[in-house]
Structure 1
């Protein structure tokens, strides 16, 4: 029997890069979608030290929103991890955010219907797709998966200028893309199992980083918050390696189509600040209480069905900070 083949979109991102590594380490072959052929050499070099790295294939797909782009990419594929998601810096909420997010997901789900050997597809959404569009700005939040609730999105809503407005557009796109995924399940007789992941703020060490200034995404927000009085993200995190582990676990677990899986663990900001000040006093962390957050996130599905055992908040902090300090030291000595 040949080694199962996993097709992965979004492999060049922070989360996707770790998913590729974990999937290879688990003994699977991978086929990665890339936008440009010249990306192949860079990615192959990234996994040169991983067991099974020779089992990497590539499919050049410039536009993931076109169903026909997958006509050859899905040949022989057993499983699909769809992590790619458009993240524009600005633009119209409908045409630049919602439409690409919806079509980018539906195109691969539709294309996969022609390949009966595909057993499971995991679509990576966001915790923000399971709550009101302004969830990220709330301090009192209670979120659960598999409620069946339809989240309303008013595309004509008044949007603030700058970063806050872009975050609302991003949240709206996640909500609508997930709604489209659920509708697809209802309206189509699909032969594969379709599961959605909903990670919260994903942090940890990165396989992509080369220097101290290339810290990005949620890692960058966390790092920035160390030098301000109040945190820049909420107190529900997940280690990037836990997100990657969940992908492999779902391949090896009986799970029904349509199941939503929140990936998160609670942390206590008082404990976070105490840990940082004790272990990394040289940072001069400026965060101090009281902290307003009261996010309640139910992770029962991940723990009971996938058997997830979350890495600790301290582990997340240490992996992120130690990588940043190491890169700073390397840059300072060069």
Structure 2
């Protein structure tokens, strides 16, 4: 597929933590953006934030992404779709409360793109939740060939009794698998002319430019966890995972749409491995308002869950902020909001 270098991009979930940075990244790259939000009231902050871009930013008000045909008008005339919208509900009773919105929202967006003759690339934002095996023991390196088969199996076996995290991760797994299935079947029948590209980030941290309330609890869930670790010393010590700066993720989404060789590919993007103690140590070197790390900790201990990001480097040319840079800018953001 030829490179997508100009035109209008539809960004779903445009008022979310990742979505707003994605809108900014596409505008900064010279694209026009049609930002999908659920209500007119959600447009005010974005209009103010991106006022300098004038008519290069427009809006699609779509209240229900799962409703058949609801995105048909939104995809009309766009050269690419960046589907970043994703339901996050960690209080669900039945697994379908997670799974149905994620799967049906994704399929509805894909169906709308299939009707649009202008679309050249469909970017689906997935997650490393679809990649990492939560039952793994000992060190493991994950790449794009890896799939998490544990959580959807738990949900099928236990139903309502499955853990909330398993229900959430199962929704991500099934949504991404449904996207690949739709794409492969549609491509085989010649009913689409665009390519699908999937980006899988791990934990996403960084400064916020989305609309926030007066409390740190108005932040996205991942930054709330980071805040609790750095400021309150409240964290799960045994966690091993990877992370990415939200600005790098937004840049990766632009590259995934503008790079010809990215079509039909799955990419893991990650700035590095972490335990919460690593972020606490980085913050303590930057701000005296950060809570000092208590207890013994070996920052050089081997991480058990690591991401191989060679593919994103070789095809997309990805580079990343350092942990220190991300922590510095995030702490500065918290200070500006009066949360430190």
**Is TM-score (shorter-chain normalized) higher than 0.5?**
yes
Aligned to 2:104: 103
Aligned to 1:285: 292
Match status 1:221 vs 2:221: no
Q: Which of 173, 176, 179 is the equivalent residue of 1:178?
A: 176
In 2, Cα distance between the equivalents of 1:176 and 1:127?
13
**TM-score by structure 1 length?**
0.87
In 2, Cα distance between the equivalents of 1:246 and 1:14?
15
Match status 1:165 vs 2:163: yes
Q: Is the 8 A contact 2:132 2:146 kept in 1?
A: no
Runs (4+) of structure 1 moved beyond 6 Å?
A: none
In 2, Cα distance between the equivalents of 1:139 and 1:228?
25
Gaps of 5+ in 2: none
In 1, Cα distance between the equivalents of 2:278 and 2:87?
35
Match status 1:262 vs 2:271: no
Aligned to 2:255: 249
Cα displacement (A) at 1:323: 1.1
Gaps of 5+ in 1: none
**TM-score by structure 2 length?**
0.85
Aligned to 1:79: 80
Deviations 1:201-227 (A, max 9, x none): 000000023545333311110121221
Match status 1:314 vs 2:324: yes
Deviations 1:36-76 (A, max 9, x none): 1222223201212x4x2431111111111123112211111
In 2, Cα distance between the equivalents of 1:235 and 1:168?
16
RMSD: 2.7
Aligned to 2:49: 46
Matches within 5 A, 1:10-89: 10-48=13-51, 50=52, 52-89=53-90
Deviations 1:245-300 (A, max 9, x none): 11222232112543111111224556544432232233232354147742211111
In 1, Cα distance between the equivalents of 2:138 and 2:14?
32
